[in-house]
């Protein structure tokens, strides 16, 4: 007998999803913000688009990091199909990291940049649908409101202290994923501020900020390869492109 599909969380009330602090409600809130940012990114170009892409990064990658550290382990623990569902999404996360790394290395007007951007957006959209239509409804059915709010509190703490950039070499699972958080968060958030300064400051300051951000990016690439950080991932999320990133 085929199991009856559970309703998507997309149209459900906050109360039905465990309350305002529920991990499911927090996830959906970020998804809604993502949808708005994507529309703005598509409508912009040049420095304005670069600023919006920075905002997109600061939404997407802390969100994904919190999923990998909190949501996915909980799903693997309580759902019969948790491992399979998580692995599908982790594979998408890996490709998003790879595509976004390539996008970050490009500049406005570069050949192929628009295609990279659209591929990243398509992956993000599919990721949202898989979570809202498959994973999160099952988690809602398996956990009570109190547990969903407890997970939501932990998820929020992790999200607020997570890296804000793509890191394709780092494992999508603990221990590597968890151990990489502190150094990569410091480097990423420093780069975010420098990149904003480079877009707004006069010429010499902009050049210096851009150069320093690039140096921190190179350092982040070295950090990603340190022995603890690639550990723990499923082999299917380690692709040939992972070995040559940075």
Q: Name the residue ranges covered by the structural domains of the chain.
A: 15-244
The pLDDT tens digits for 79-101 are: 998 899 889 999 999 999 999 99
Q: Which of 2, 7, 1 is nearest to 141 (CA)?
A: 7
List, in order, residues 6 or more apart from 56 with CB less than 8 Å away. Answer: 34, 37, 38, 41
pLDDT in the model for residue 1: 35
Residue 43: C-alpha distances to residues 38, 52, 120, 233 (Å): 9, 10, 16, 36
Distance CA 128, CA 147 (A): 22
Task: Give every CB contact of residue 46 below 8 A, 6+ residues apart in sequence.
Answer: 108
Stretch among 22-31, 35-44, 109-118, 153-162 having the lowest mean pLDDT: 109-118
pLDDT-wise least confident of 155-164, 204-213, 222-231: 222-231
At residue 174 the predicted structure's pLDDT band, cuts being 50, 70 and 90, is: confident
Pairwise CA distance, residues 68 & 91, whole Å: 12
Helix (H), strand (E) at residue 117: helix 113-130
pLDDT, position 106: 87
Residue 156 confidence (pLDDT) above 90: yes
SS (H, E, C) 39-88: HHHHHCCHHHHHHHHHHHHHHHHHHHHHHHHHHHHHHHHHCCCHHHHHHH
Residue 10 predicted with pLDDT over 70:
yes
Question: Which pTM value belongs to this model?
Answer: 0.90
Quick one: what percent of the chain has pLDDT higher than 70? 92
**pLDDT band at 236; cut points 50, 70, 90:** low
- Quick one: pLDDT band at residue 232, thresholds 50, 70, 90? low
Residue 239 pLDDT: 55
Q: What is the pLDDT of residues 118-137, one digit of tens each?
A: 999 999 999 999 999 999 99
């Amino acid at each position: 007998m085929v199991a009856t599909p559970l309703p998507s969380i997309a149209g459900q009330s906050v109360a039905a999803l465990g309350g305002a602090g529920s991990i499911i409600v927090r996830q959906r809130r970020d998804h809604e913000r993502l949808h708005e940012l994507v529309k703005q990114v598509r409508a912009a170009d040049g420095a304005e688009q670069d600023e919006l892409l920075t905002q997109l990064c600061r939404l997407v990658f802390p969100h994904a990091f919190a999923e990998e550290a909190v949501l996915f382990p909980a799903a693997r623990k309580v759902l019969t199909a948790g491992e399979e569902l998580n692995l599908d999404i982790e594979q998408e996360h890996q490709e998003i990291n790879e595509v976004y790394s390539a996008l970050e290395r490009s500049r406005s007007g570069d050949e192929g940049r628009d295609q990279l951007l659209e591929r990243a957006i398509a992956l993000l959209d599919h990721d949202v649908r898989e979570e809202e239509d498959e994973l999160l409804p099952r988690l809602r059915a398996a956990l009570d409101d109190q547990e969903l709010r407890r997970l939501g509190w932990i998820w929020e703490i992790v999200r607020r202290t997570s890296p804000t950039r793509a890191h394709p070499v780092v494992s999508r699972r603990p221990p590597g994923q968890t151990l990489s958080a502190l150094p990569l968060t410091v480097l990423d958030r420093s780069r975010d501020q420098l990149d904003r300064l480079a877009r707004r400051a006069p010429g010499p300051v902009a050049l210096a900020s851009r150069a320093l951000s690039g140096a921190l990016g190179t350092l982040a690439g070295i950090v990603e390869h340190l022995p603890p950080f690639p550990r723990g991932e499923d082999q299917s999320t380690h692709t040939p492109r992972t070995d040559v990133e940075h």
